[in-house]
Amino acid sequence: MTPVLYVATKNDGKRREIEHLLAGTSYEVRSLPREYPDIPETGSTFHANALLKAQAAYTALGFPVIADDSGLVVPSLGGAPGVLSARYAGENATPAMLVQKLLAVMQDFGDAKRSAHFRTSLVLMLSSTMYASFDGIVYGRIITAPKGTNGFGYDPVFVPNGHTATFAEMTLETKNPMSHRGMAMRKLKSFLQHLTLSAATPSG
């Protein structure tokens, strides 16, 4: 029987990205049911929020769960949007509204104040008491106007260091090897493969 692994998100863009990153594993990846209630992200760190979501989803579903909390950190804004990245422009803000607010706040910033990084904290909940966590980070800068239609969130205004295209101008094949989520997911994928190999190896 193929083992099932739930992704604790109803964000289609995030789900597609995670499914792409987990391709080649022995797990059947499923999203949360649409009727699953949203989990309040009350933690003060990305890790705390990821753990909250993973624990709640595991309790409800009874299957191993991946949950992540990710966000954009702009040092010149004191670390904002940070853990409030998804709510930076209000509770029901669209991705376009988030980008518009960020650009408005940074409209008078010169290049020296446009450095930023994306950070991901990912938690794999294996049982009610056992979990593993993985982190990823990618550095770059915020540009002055959106470019590209791929990705989600702040991708249209984030250009990773060493590149000229935004994340939203890149395909998943280009973005994932360098992205914060890609980095964390590769660590998780290696962990899952180790688990699978350990389970398949007779002891003694």
Helix (H) / strand (E) element for 18: namely: helix 12-21
User: Which pTM value belongs to this model?
Assistant: 0.84
Q: Quick one: pLDDT at residue 113?
A: 98
Rounded to whole angstroms, what are the CA distances from 60 to 48, 112, 190? 19, 46, 26
Per-residue pLDDT of the chain (204 residues; tens, 9 = 90+): 788 889 888 777 777 777 777 877 778 888 888 778 888 788 999 999 999 999 999 999 898 999 999 999 999 999 999 999 999 999 889 999 999 999 999 999 999 999 999 999 999 999 988 999 999 999 999 999 999 999 889 999 999 999 999 999 999 899 989 999 889 989 998 898 887 544 433 334
* CA 74 from centre of chain: 17
User: CA gyration radius for the chain?
Assistant: 18
In angstroms, rounded to a whole number, what is the distance separating the alpha carbons of residues 141 and 76?
11
How are beta strands 158-160 and 115-125 bridged, if at all?
Answer: unpaired
CATH code at position 150: 3.90.950.10
Is 111 noted as a catalytic residue in this protein? no
Q: Quick one: pLDDT at residue 196?
A: 59
> Are the C-beta atoms of 137 and 118 separated by less than 8 Å?
yes
User: Domain count of the chain?
Assistant: 1
Q: Quick one: pLDDT at residue 195?
A: 75
Instruction: Write the single-letter amino acid at 159.
Output: V
How are beta strands 28-31 and 4-7 bridged, if at all?
Answer: parallel
What domain range includes position 75? 4-200
Q: Which entry of 12, 68, 69, 155 is annotated as an active-site residue? A: 69
